[in-house]
Amino acid sequence: MNIILFGPPGAGKGTQAKYLVKKINGFQISTGEMLRNEIKKDTDIGKIIINDMNDGKFVSDEIVNKLIETVISDPQKKNKLIFDGYPRSLSQAKNLDLLLNESNQKIDFIFFLNVNKETIIRRIEKRKVIEKRSDDDLKTILRRYDTYMETTKPVLDFYSKKANFHEIDGSYEIDQITKKIDTFVRV
Ligand code: AMP
């Protein structure tokens, strides 16, 4: 089973991804985390993306698509993929379809966690204290939210027509969102 968690930063994708990892014995594919790792390790990619990341801008599709390729073709992770924060553009969504096709996989569920700006701000402010994320000052949070909403609109249009697309109110408490997801993901 492969699942996409879709929604703006702070919607709770990471939390639900971790729940689903346990539930289906899967792997959380967080491009945000993969990118932060590149910066931490000061790789060639890390050096290219550090400014965009700190500005709350999207990293180029080319870099993200390349990073994701090895994960999708990993036989150990086959049909156990929980995407958290990918895809974020139409090009990424189409690339994902292509890569999944190539390895004989498909997406079983797309969950759109929809939340308003106020809820996002409240949550990310909390996370800022706990995780000490450097890109999480308020200005960046708002820019990230706006960038997300603008850039991902075509992705939302692309996925929302599909039968396996489910919109969930992400302003609910964590447990309630999990319960809702559980009504679809039965293992
Ligand atoms: P996240 O941890 O998912 O909130 O992502 C943190 C930051 O990483 C984002 O603000 C973007 O700068 C970058 N990022 C993560 N995933 C992607 C993606 N799929 N496409 C482009 N940029 C991304």
184 within a domain of the structure (yes/no): no
* Pocket (CB within 6 angstroms of ligand 1): 9, 31-32, 35, 52-53, 56-59, 64, 85-86, 88, 92, 144
- What pLDDT, on a 0 to 100 scale, did the predictor assign at position 120? 77
- 105-163 pLDDT, tens digit per residue, is 999 999 999 998 888 778 777 777 767 766 667 777 778 888 888 889 999 999 999 99
Domain count, the chain: 1
pLDDT at 136: 62
Domain range for 90 is: 3-179
13 close to 85: Cβ distance less than 8 angstroms: yes
How far does the centroid of ligand 1 lie from the alpha carbon of residue 4, in Å?
Answer: 15
141 in a structural domain = yes
Which residue's CA is the nearest one to ligand 1's atom 14?
32
Residue 50 within any structural domain of the chain: yes
Q: Are the beta carbons of 110 and 2 closer than 8 angstroms?
A: no
Answer whether residue 78 is part of any domain.
yes
Residue 133 DSSP SS3: coil
By three-state DSSP, how is residue 111 classified?
A: strand
CATH number at residue 134: 3.40.50.300
**Averaged pLDDT for residues 73-89:** 96
Position 185 in a domain:
no
